[in-house]
A and B are shown apart, each in its own frame.
Chain A
Amino acid sequence: MESTEEAQKYFDKSFENILIALEEYDSKLTKIDKEFSCGTSGFRYDENELDRVAFRIGIISCIKSQILGGLPVGIMVTASHNKYTDNGFKIAGEGGRMISPYWEGIYTKLVNAKNLSYTLKNIIEELVNSNVSVSKNFDKDIHAIVLLACDTRRSSPKLVGIITDCLNILNANFKNYGIQTTPALHFLTLLNQITFNTKSHKSFDFVHSEEYWKFLKNGLRTFNLFYEKIYYKNIERNEPNKYEGEFTIDCSNGIAAYHYKKIIEIFGETAKIHSYNTNYSEITALNESCGAEYVHKEKKIPINYFKDAYVKNVSYDGDVDRIVYL
């Protein structure tokens, strides 16, 4: 493969050393003889097949961040509503949104690469010359900024560990947010990008995960204040207040379960919430006979459902990006 001049600058001695370190780590990870593909919501496979995929997703996320001039990129380790023995990855790209089909192709290419160094060089050349790159002068000294979060699955800490090792080899600036919902990681990626764009690269500080919860709380508080103090007085009401401020939440024994106190806190006085299926430490219980997917697909009520006193039930899926009312 002939290298272009710009890309060649990137492949200097120090980069070759990084490649050797990456190759060495990569070769020790279990090799799975299958073609991995990126579905609607990222990569999703059996937990035992993902070590090498995790490592390579770490590499590409760094390269993506560097190609975008150091813009923060998010990696979420989750298999959403799948059974507890699966896991997977979702990527938060520009604007905190899901990555484009073009980037899905880039990720898939490296994940399936037979020769890691060769394919990686190939990809970098392609990216430098594509219109996604912010500059035609690829600066390898730009530190990648990567954000990590995961769900409550038993395999999540290990996969996060592999990605962390990868980010260390590549000398990336990263933050592990621990157990967060998928939408929270996307939101935090956006906030970090805003911080990145308004500050100089050197003084970049990661946004705290509490900012996501503040956003939720403030949103509802602003609405309530406005609604109760101003709007409610003006509205012509001939009927009694019918709002039912009490409901149950099926936490699917996943991330919602881990954060259920925070969810209750958001609503405060607005609504009384009773959560159930909150046993996230019981690893096999995740999404089992509960959660949004179960309610939607099986058209059944979730396990442990208690209807008697409450009229509303809300079901979440394992990583809290889906909601079903019952």
Chain B
Amino acid sequence: MDFLIKKLSPNLQKQFLSEISLGVVGTAYSNGAFLNYIKNTLGLKLSMSKTGIKHLSEEGKKFDISTYFESNGHGTLAYNETIKGKIEKLSSLIESSSDAQTLELLSIYVSMFNQTVGDSLTDLICIESSLKLLNMTTEELYYIYNELEYVNIKTVVKDKNIFITTEDETRLVHPLEVQSFIDKTIEKFPNCNARCFVRPSGTEDILRIYAEAETEKVAVEIADIVKKYLSENY
């Protein structure tokens, strides 16, 4: 998407971006390196959602065209009904045949996705088409950013219901002591892009602990410290 838009002539590109909002929806489990790439390298709008595909799809509605994916491989690219009309309107600004073709390819690309729900077959078709368009190997795709190492563990607590997270589930609003313990733990590992959060499981009577860092060793260490603290105190 981004690649195609940047192929448009500057004037059309500017108009495209002011008429049509593009956004990427991630969750607390989205890899930090991915979020960084979207936000800082590509400069795209990033919106965080609660875990669960229906929440991501809801968050995506804030944009005309949104890409939403969970780290488990569930997601799609969604657009709203105004998009076809908006692209048509932009065609008056076409400056070259390349503009016309790029704009047409953009609407073809967008309409290839299953709009109802995340669909791994349309995703496969579109990823393969994108690789072809970008002239990239899978290996190059893999290395456009270096994924952070992560660990996902669980711990049993007396009452999971006292643990309340922010809307995007990346921080606890209650109990605050736990959040500040996590913050202090993270501070002990500077310069390794460390991140950690806990959230109650939706279905089981447990807490889930997620930790992420440049090395697996650090991620595991953080998760273990937090787990130990939780099982001793809650």
A contact residues vs B (CB 8 Å cutoff): 37, 39-41, 92, 95-98, 181-184, 186-187, 189-190, 215-216, 219-220, 222-224, 226-227, 230-231, 234, 237, 239, 241-244, 263, 266-267, 270-271, 292-293, 296-297, 311-312, 314-317, 320-325
Contact = CB atoms under 8 A, between A and B. Distances in A.
A273 B124 CA distance: 12
B45 interface: no
26 contacts: A37-B203, A40-B51, A41-B53, A96-B115, A97-B57, A97-B117, A181-B119, A183-B114, A219-B112, A222-B112, A223-B125, A226-B104, A227-B105, A227-B133, A242-B135, A242-B136, A242-B140, A243-B136, A244-B131, A244-B138, A311-B137, A316-B120, A321-B119, A322-B73, A322-B120, A325-B141
A144 B72 CA distance: 35
Interface string B119-146: 1111111011101110111111110000
A1 B50 CA distance: 38
B26 interface: no
B114 A187 contact: yes
A242 B136 CA distance: 6
A312 B139 CA distance: 9
B12 to A, nearest CB: 16
Given A183-B122, A242-B137, A270-B128, A40 B54 contact: yes
B117 A237 contact: no
Given A220-B125, A223-B108, A322-B73, A98 B135 contact: no
A263 B202 contact: no
Contacts of A271: 128
Nearest to B113: A219
A322 B72 contact: yes
Interface string B50-86: 0111100100000000000001111000000000000
A183 B119 contact: yes
A92 B54 CA distance: 12
Nearest to A266: B125
A293 B72 contact: yes
Interface string B36-54: 0000000000000001111
- 5 tightest A-B contacts by CB? A183-B119, A96-B116, A323-B120, A219-B112, A186-B116
B161 interface: no
Given A226-B105, A242-B137, A293-B72, A39 B114 contact: no
A95 B141 CA distance: 33
A124 B101 CA distance: 52
Contacts of A317: 73, 120
B223 to A, nearest CB: 15
A263 B128 CA distance: 13
